[in-house]
Amino acid sequence: MSSQQIPFGELEAVFFDAGNTLVHWDHAFVETCAAELGFVLDAARLARAEAAARPRLDRLLAAGRSTEAPDTMTAYLECMLDAGLAPEVGSQRRSHFVSQLAAALRSPGGSDRLWSRVPADIPESLARLRAAGLALVVVSNSDGSIERKLRDAGLRDLLDDVVDSALVGAEKPDPAIFRHALARSGRVPHRTLHVGDLHAIDVVGAQRAGLHAVLLDPHGDWLEPPCAKFADVGTVARVILAARGE
């Protein structure tokens, strides 16, 4: 679907993925974790490889892997290596890097720090969308912790509702989690847009439930599949507000 087919001016609700949509990887923290394991990596290089890894990870998710599976972080790091980090890690130490860093990032404290970076324009973008009358709901594949993470990040009070897959018993791309969020917010799918960073999870799941959907693609990494793509949440917000004449 092209972005021209999405009725941005007629939307009544915007649903957001959480991870790498509202709360992003703190790459400086990952750099620190890697350094403690003996790997000298630059946070900017990490950030670029992490974004470039998403289409690769998406292919695994499209084949049925859960974002919440214990080894999905391992797969994510493998995809980052394949997307450009491999020379800096070295083939001999690759398995050590992946297993040890995944363990550090998946620990309770590590996970909290990992998903803690909020791009500067997100609070204002959410506030402006809400002031324009749109309902804002997070629909996240998580472990029951995403509402606390959003509160810690200072975003919870800017949102009308937070739906966590672990609490609902369904995770994206199952349309049931989107239908649950629609029912709780009293919204209809054809007036709702979902924004997320993984095609097989966010776009496919939302479209299965009849919602409109856009994919975040900050660096033009996604060649396929075709769908409406935007650089970031701020850009999506500006398009919605402009279509409403605000």
Tell me the H-state helices in the chain: 27-36, 43-62, 72-80, 86-89, 94-106, 108-114, 122-131, 146-152, 165-168, 175-185, 204-208, 233-243
User: Measured from the CB of residue 127, what is the shortest distance to Mg ion in angstroms?
Assistant: 22
User: Measured from the CB of residue 19, what is the shortest distance to Mg ion in angstroms?
Assistant: 4
Q: Which is nearer to Mg ion, 40 or 63 (CB)?
A: 63
Q: Which is nearer to Mg ion, 18 or 134 (CB)?
A: 18
The residue ranges that bind Mg ion (CB under 5 A) are: 17, 19-20, 197
Q: Which is nearer to Mg ion, 19 or 173 (CB)?
A: 19
The two tokens of residue 115 are 């998903």
The two tokens of residue 54 are 């998403």
User: Measured from the CB of residue 186, what is the shortest distance to Mg ion in angstroms?
Assistant: 25
> What values do phi and psi take at 138, rounded to 5?
-90, 130
Residues whose CB is less than 8 angstroms from the CB of residue 103 and which lie 6 or more positions away in sequence, other chains included: none
Q: Which is nearer to Mg ion, 116 or 244 (CB)?
A: 116
User: Measured from the CB of residue 85, what is the shortest distance to Mg ion in angstroms?
Assistant: 20
Closest residue to Mg ion, Cβ-based?
A: 19
